[in-house]
Chain A
Amino acid sequence: AQSVTQLDSQVPVFEEAPVELRCNYSSSVSVYLFWYVQYPNQGLQLLLKYLSGSTLVESINGFEAEFNKSQTSFHLRKPSVHISDTAEYFCAVHSGGSNYKLTFGKGTLLTVNP
């Protein structure tokens, strides 16, 4: 069985500050890892993904995450946040196979204050 732990339920930061949202997973097999973002009253939007290759993946809006197999982590970082980054962020893992089930963490609410 696989599981995802998001270590912080809430992360408040000031605008233009750096941020790290932490995610650890457990799985007995190779994994694919994802970060999704959810704005208020909306569905989930894919932010970035690790499927294979380079362990550092980036999104178009400045977020990046690094897959660390030895520490079973996939932390999300951004060097300078904006007010518009305020949202709930979910880390998710998929262990491959024909069943495309994603296991999600409980989410981290990022609040960016002026």
Chain B
Amino acid sequence: ETGVTQSPTHLIKTRGQQVTLRCSSQSGHNTVSWYQQALGQGPQFIFQYYREEENGRGNFPPRFSGLQFPNYSSELNVNALELDDSALYLCASSGGGFGANVLTFGAGSRLTVL
């Protein structure tokens, strides 16, 4: 089975720009979550998507938005980038059933905002 894949792996943007990060979930998984990991910190929950709907959100402003597609892949969009948005963005997928809360993470997209 394929794991979670994310693209791009690295990117550099300037303040005020917009960015789109992409994620393909693990085969058989229907739920996708996004996390932000700042340098030296643990990952922070941004939001989660299930059946193309957002069904949970962390303490992030509306300029962080997302999409989930019928094939369960997902996008994270960040508008009006700020310097503090520099971080590793991790996508995680999970399936249904009892083990649904066991997340499989991708390798991440490292965003640098200058």
- In the bound assembly, the distance between CA atoms of A98 and B31 in angstroms comes to 10
Q: How far is the CB of A37 from chain B (nearest CB, A)?
A: 11
Given contacts A42-B107, A102-B35, A105-B42, 16 further A-B contacts (CB under 8 A): A43-B4, A44-B105, A46-B103, A51-B98, A51-B99, A51-B101, A90-B42, A94-B101, A99-B48, A100-B103, A102-B33, A102-B45, A102-B101, A104-B42, A104-B44, A106-B40
Q: Number of A residues contacting the other chain (C-beta, 8 Å)?
A: 25
Chain A residues with CB below 8 A from B108, complex form: 42-43
- A residues engaging B (CB < 8 A)? 4, 32, 34, 36, 42-46, 49, 51, 90, 92, 94, 96, 98-107
Given known A90-B43, A107-B41, A107-B42, contact A100–B106 (CB-CB < 8 A): no
